[in-house]
Amino acid sequence: MNNVNPARPAKGKGHFNIIDILIIIFILLVAGGAVFLFIFTGTGAADKTAYDIEYQLWYDQQRPEFSDRIKAGDKVYDLSGEYALGEVVAVDVRPCIVDSYDKMSEQMIGTIMPDRYSIYVTVKGKATKKNEAYYIGPVRLVVGSRIDTRYPDFQSTASCVQVGVPVSEE
């Protein structure tokens, strides 16, 4: 006796049911979303115009031997050396002041750290604008951002403390 059901196709021959169709639709939606994210996101959002921009970097708590390593005219690069971030316009070396809490007066006071310096470096470079921020390569220039930098005779991480608006944007 043969146990084959004539209403059911033989194994090896496939047929679609509603679950198969839903899985295919889900896969197509995920693939379409990925294509949208990778291709269309950000298209037209970046301004390809190069702006002359000045920004200031702050290197905090540097030892005395590093206080004279950065000079006006030095080129600044990101830590990998792949992107030129601009040229040093000015260098300002100041004593390092650290905020500390005074328990007697219950106030924050500025205390000068001995043998430590804050180095403020003004850099001029060419940047593009995207999403209301300026970029030099992949480096985003906004106040508070941390930037890994390299100079001919110095490398360290700086905080961006000032970003100047280009003359053409004012």
Q: Is the pTM of this model over 0.75?
A: no
Nearest CA-CA partner of 149 in 121, 168, 111: 121
Per-residue pLDDT of 21-45, as tens digits, reads 899 999 999 998 888 877 765 544 4
Give me the residue label for tokens 């804050």.
118
Q: State how far the Cα of 157 lies from the Cα of 148, in Å rounded to an integer.
A: 4
Percent residues over pLDDT 90 in the chain: 52
More confident residue, 130 or 151: 151
pLDDT at position 143:
93
pLDDT at position 44:
47
**H or E stretch at 64:** none
Spans of all domains in the chain: 15-44, 47-169
Per-residue pLDDT of 74-126, as tens digits, reads 999 998 888 999 999 999 999 999 888 889 999 999 888 889 999 999 999 99
108, with CB counted inside 10 A (0-12, 13-18, 19+), is: exposed
Under the banding of pLDDT at 50, 70 and 90, the label for residue 133 is: confident
Both structure tokens of 45: 């959002």
pLDDT at position 39:
75
Q: Is beta strand 46-62 parallel, antiparallel or unpaired with respect to 107-130?
A: antiparallel
